[in-house]
Amino acid sequence: MTLIMPRLTDTTLRDGSHAVGHNFSKETIANVVAALDNAGVPVIEASHGAGVGGSSMQHGFSAVDEMELFAIARENAKNAKLAALLAPGIGNIRHMKAARDAGLDIIRIVTHCTEADCSQQHMEAAKELGLETVGFLMMSHTQPADVLASEALKMESYGCDCVYVVDSCGAMLPGEVTTKVKALQNVLTTAQVGFHAHNNLGVSIANSLAAIELGVDQIDTSLRGLGAGAGNTPTEVLLAVLNKMNVETGIDMFACAEAAEQHVSGLYQVAIDEAALVMGYAGVYSSFLRHAKHVAEEYGVSSKELLLELGRRQTVAGQEDWIISVAMDIKKARGDASAA
């Protein structure tokens, strides 16, 4: 089988923002973008972890103002396209226009995988602004393939250039990735198909390869796997695997490995610890990890118990404030008077 390299988007400076508490320094932003650009990475995503407009009390404040972040990224991306995430309800069209004016090329609009209709206004505005537009179907593990395909068709009808199957919780296995990517490929006629993995069950490389073997058009990675939960598919590792498979990637794997070592390794070490594993097993949104650990400690419940209950209640992105309520419910259920 001859594999074709999909367009790679490195998400270190967006998904990785969750892992570091949105505290990337100006120096780190400049260094990472310059290194990825020099290595030949075609798309670099850089924004608050929750996307444009995400710097807030609920999601965490950014150390660097997002428009300054875009300006720094644009200055150091000589060849790569610059992308950012936007979640309707967190970011708005005004944010999108400001980001475009600061040098953004691509907007990746994210909704829960059953709520694609929430993206219509933003996608149509993005196309009017001249932005390449990508749709993200979050929490794709929660719905059958036919539902994802139906939602992807909505995004395509809004002018979306690509629709991603997004394993937000790192809960999928390769067979499920295959089924769901195929479902989108079978119905989309103008939009491309992409795949975004998390590594909570340790299969992000396998899942990414399953998507690539199907001829997926776009794939996401991050240096050293830096990202929410147990992180994403590591850029340098996926490139090494593809090199071993004689796939022409057009990206310097050794330069990416060096960038990961020099600019990312000291920031935060992603790992499949107990909490990250439970998130993947229970299907809990990966960006809940830091919040859940903090709340579990503050309210005297185990993070495992808390995450399992969040999974049972089928929490979705944007419900971070519910974590406290669930922790209090757990304490009440076991008769802890201090929870009253």
- Spatial contact of 53 and 304, defined as CB atoms under 8 Å apart: no
**Cα–Cα dist 252/243, whole Å:** 10
**Cα–Cα dist 212/96, whole Å:** 30
Tell me whether residue 321 is exposed, middle or buried, using C-beta atoms within 10 angstroms of its C-beta: 0 to 12, 13 to 18, 19 or more.
Answer: exposed
In a 13 Å sphere around the CA of 99, the CA atoms on its Cβ side amount to: 32
Is 18 a residue of the active site? yes
**Cα–Cα dist 209/234, whole Å:** 12
Tokens of 42: 């075609």
The set of residues, in sequence order, having a beta carbon less than 8 Å from that of 213 and lying 6+ positions away, is 1, 3
Q: At what angle do helices 322-333 and 303-312 cross, to 10 degrees?
A: 110
**Cα–Cα dist 37/48, whole Å:** 20
**Cα–Cα dist 266/66, whole Å:** 23
- Spatial contact of 256 and 41, defined as CB atoms under 8 Å apart: yes
**Cα–Cα dist 208/225, whole Å:** 13
Active site residue ranges: 18
